[in-house]
Structure 1
Amino acid sequence: MTFKAGIIGCGSIAKFRHAPEYKANPYVSDIVFYDRNPERAKSLADMFEGHAADTVEELLNDSSIMVISDCSSNESHHIFTAKALLSGKHVLCEKPIALTMEHANEVVEAQRKSGNKLMVDHNQRFTRAHQKAKEIIEKGDLGQVLTFKTTFGHQGPEHWGVNKSNSTWFFKKDRSGLGVAGDLGIHKIDLVHYLLGDEIEQVSAFQGALDKVDEDGEPIEVCDNIVCSLKTKQKRLGTASFSWTYYGEEDNSTILYCENGTMKIYHDPEHQIEVMTKDGEVIRYQLESIQTNDNQTNSGVIDAFVDCVRSDQEPIVTGTDALSSLKVTLGILKAAKSGSIVKI
């Protein structure tokens, strides 16, 4: 059985990740695009041999569309995703699920009421290295994870966004909302929860708009850097850095310090995982290069989403998972703003 997919929002994330992965999936027969800028929708429809919808209602009311990717800007996720779920669609929502807990709960409630699938695109769970790292941790040879540090940074969304300029919506408070914390940081919060089988419960942080300016040359309205300290429910301690000003190269690395050794993930370009045991043994895994803004590869997200719909399985990243990561991210921003330790 094949079915149509719909995409709401036709920016870079739709163009470089969602659309090509739907196009390559054997169970997707056609893609229908909607964007508030009709030319963008038409452009992607032409590029991927799909169709453009004139209104979002046209897309939502099309009974032949079974799955929808919500690739709109952050402030609209809770609106489009909830509407799509209640219109009978299975939805893959870009992160963050929403900008507030109230709106995020509306989305989760729409999923519960509709009974349809909701997956949120926290794509770090899908890389082979992160999946292998979780497997190594669960095997137990390294013992418990005691402390960790993680980072995610690149040169900024103005180099990635559809208009390639400082006017990007990522720099606008009313549309981006959470700055680099909601763009990159929330991915790593979800990853820490996934790898450790644990949840962050206490945070402190510093943030700033250190370097980025908008189209008028003014400092941007949201943070371009944030550095935080984290404590989990199981008393693990960690640090995290998220940045839009890593101008030399992208950094997407994580280090886990365990009872019996250390695991480095995406720390070495040749070996995606390096394990150093406390008795001196070194084990290296060569798996795959991580997807970056400059190196677009199949993320596996669309295939996993389509598979969970076809087989009626629980999504790899649920709305509840996304709620948990959003709650921590909002706590980090609150801690940075107030200069205090925040309990999640």
Structure 2
Amino acid sequence: MKKSLLILALLFALEVHAQDAALRVGVIGLTHTHVHWIFGSEPRGEIDIVGIVEPNKELAQRYADQYGFSMDMVFDSIEELITKTKPEAVTAFGTIYEHLGVVRAAAPKGIHVMVEKPLAVNMEHAKEMQALAEKHNIQLLTNYETTWYPTNHKAYEVLKKDGTIGEVRKVMVHDGHKGPKKIGVNSEFLDWLTDPVQNGGGAIVDFGCYGANLMTWLMDGKRPNSVTAITQQLQAENNPKVDDESIILLQYDDAVAIIQGSWNWPIGRKDMEIYGLKGTIVAHNRHDFQVRISEGYDGFEEERMTLKERSAPYDDPFAYLAAVVKNKITPEKYDLSSLENNMLVVEILDAARESAKTNKTIFLNK
């Protein structure tokens, strides 16, 4: 009896240790400059980067010099990284087109995956990724910068839980900057970000995905009845192969969304406006938040606040990944990072590209 109790205690201790240990993570690709985020996050302690896949050794050396890791942990293939380092999860920081290949390599080995937004370049890729994730019972998460904004979560709370502004009728989401070349992204990132195959499009994909993701969350996973989009190329000299200006209109039974993703904003922005029956919510940026309640024709009562960062692990994508993999968090079905949400995002983006190409509204089957 005592021996059995001792074994149970030992197993419990090992389980607790596994829960508290840093998640072993492999980084797949360095051509997406959002990869700086994971290197900056590692010192928090929730993750341990055990290996990197990057065939471009000159690029890898630049990151090694900046962050102080050994080139011995840089591999040429995902298979080599998995065999030699045995990660529990991998994060994709290559092209959007390459996301499918990461899932093909990782999922059959039970390795969880987080990709940078959007989930995939098209629904064909997305459906295969979903099937692999479900077959092999892995988490397949998508990371957006705006997922970690306290203002967006406060907006959700005020809209959905408090009911302060009444039922939503219109949402406007604005994302983007001056354009990748104008803001000086490195050549390795610029080459594929402005490629219609590797990125799936230009600004309509790069920044249109943010609004589709947020709207899907706010609408509890409801599919829009229709998608209408226009695109333009206002910087042909900088983005010769892709659009750099996009507007996506989503129509629901009782609400509409206007998503403006652009590489032509004079000032970079990621903000959202929500209009309800009784008032408005504005998430100006990561921290600045505003609510207005209607009074009469054009009067209003206003509250402004500056929000603090969310508590861990809800303040960082890789801390969140670790918590999900270790079963400390169970994502809700249409959470911002969830597979269900991001499958719909890709469906919306596919419809938006088709709409812009054909100059027609695309109606989605209910």
C-alpha spacing 1:68/1:25, structure 2 compared with 1 (3 Å)? farther
- Kindly state the Cα deviation for residue 328 of structure 1 after the two structures are TM-superposed: 0.5
- Kindly state the Cα deviation for residue 101 of structure 1 after the two structures are TM-superposed: 0.9
Q: Select which of 216, 223, 226 maps to 1:193.
A: 216
Q: Select which of 196, 206, 209 maps to 2:230.
A: 206
Give the aligned residue type for 1:20: G
- Kindly state the Cα deviation for residue 250 of structure 1 after the two structures are TM-superposed: 0.9
Could you report, residue by residue, the CA deviation over 1:166-210 in whole angstroms, capped at 9, with x for unpaired residues? x52111122122211211111111011113324433121211111
Matches within 5 A, 1:314-333: 314-315=330-331, 316=335, 317-333=337-353
Question: In structure 2, what is the equivalent of residue 295 of structure 1?
Answer: none
Give the aligned residue type for 2:194: F
Q: Select which of 243, 254, 259 maps to 1:240.
A: 259
- Kindly state the Cα deviation for residue 145 of structure 1 after the two structures are TM-superposed: 0.7
SS of equivalent residue, structure 2 residue 186: coil
Runs in 1 of length 4+ with deviation above 6 angstroms?
Answer: none
SS of equivalent residue, structure 1 residue 151: strand
Question: In structure 1, what is the equivalent of residue 33 of structure 2?
Answer: 13
Structure 2 residue runs of 5 or longer lacking an equivalent are: 1-20
Could you report, residue by residue, the CA deviation over 1:51-96 in whole angstroms, capped at 9, with x for unpaired residues? 2123221112245311110111011111112321222211111122
Q: Select which of 35, 46, 52 maps to 2:54.
A: 35
Give the aligned residue type for 1:44: Y
C-alpha spacing 1:72/1:33, structure 2 compared with 1 (3 Å)? same
Which segment drifts farther, 31-40 or 142-151?
Answer: 31-40
CA RMSD after TM alignment:
2.4
Give the aligned residue type for 2:94: S
CA contact (8 A) 1:14 1:71 kept: yes
C-alpha spacing 1:164/1:92, structure 2 compared with 1 (3 Å)? closer
- Aligned-residue sequence identity (percent) comes to 20
Matches within 5 A, 1:281-296: 281-287=301-307
Could you report, residue by residue, the CA deviation over 1:115-167 in whole angstroms, capped at 9, with x for unpaired residues? 121111133222111011101011112110111212112011233533288x5
Give the aligned residue type for 1:13: T
Give the aligned residue type for 1:6: G
Give the aligned residue type for 1:202: S
- Kindly state the Cα deviation for residue 240 of structure 1 after the two structures are TM-superposed: 1.9
CA contact (8 A) 1:15 1:44 kept: no
C-alpha spacing 1:261/1:67, structure 2 compared with 1 (3 Å)? same
SS of equivalent residue, structure 1 residue 96: coil
- Kindly state the Cα deviation for residue 299 of structure 1 after the two structures are TM-superposed: 5.9
Q: Which has the larger radius of gyration?
A: 2
Compute the TM-score of the two structures, normalised by the length of structure 2.
0.82
Which segment drifts farther, 32-41 or 140-149?
Answer: 32-41
Q: Select which of 157, 163, 174 maps to 2:197.
A: 174
Could you report, residue by residue, the CA deviation over 1:253-276 in whole angstroms, capped at 9, with x for unpaired residues? 211111111111117x9x621111
Which segment drifts farther, 106-115 or 29-38?
Answer: 29-38
C-alpha spacing 1:164/1:105, structure 2 compared with 1 (3 Å)? closer
C-alpha spacing 1:160/1:110, structure 2 compared with 1 (3 Å)? farther
- Kindly state the Cα deviation for residue 340 of structure 1 after the two structures are TM-superposed: 0.8
Give the aligned residue type for 2:169: L
Q: Select which of 265, 278, 286 maps to 1:260.
A: 278
Question: In structure 1, what is the equivalent of residue 12 of structure 2?
Answer: none
Matches within 5 A, 1:1-344: 1-21=21-41, 23-46=42-65, 47-49=67-69, 51-62=73-84, 64-138=86-160, 139-158=162-181, 159=183, 161-163=185-187, 168-197=191-220, 198-214=222-238, 220-232=240-252, 234-246=253-265, 248-266=266-284, 272-279=288-295, 280-287=300-307, 300-311=316-327, 313-315=329-331, 316=335, 317-344=337-364
- Kindly state the Cα deviation for residue 239 of structure 1 after the two structures are TM-superposed: 1.6
Counterpart-to-counterpart distance in 1, 2:259 and 2:23 = 41
Could you report, residue by residue, the CA deviation over 1:231-257 in whole angstroms, capped at 9, with x for unpaired residues? 12x4201222110111x2112221111
C-alpha spacing 1:45/1:88, structure 2 compared with 1 (3 Å)? farther
Structure 1 residue runs of 5 or longer lacking an equivalent are: 290-297
Counterpart-to-counterpart distance in 1, 2:26 and 2:63 = 12
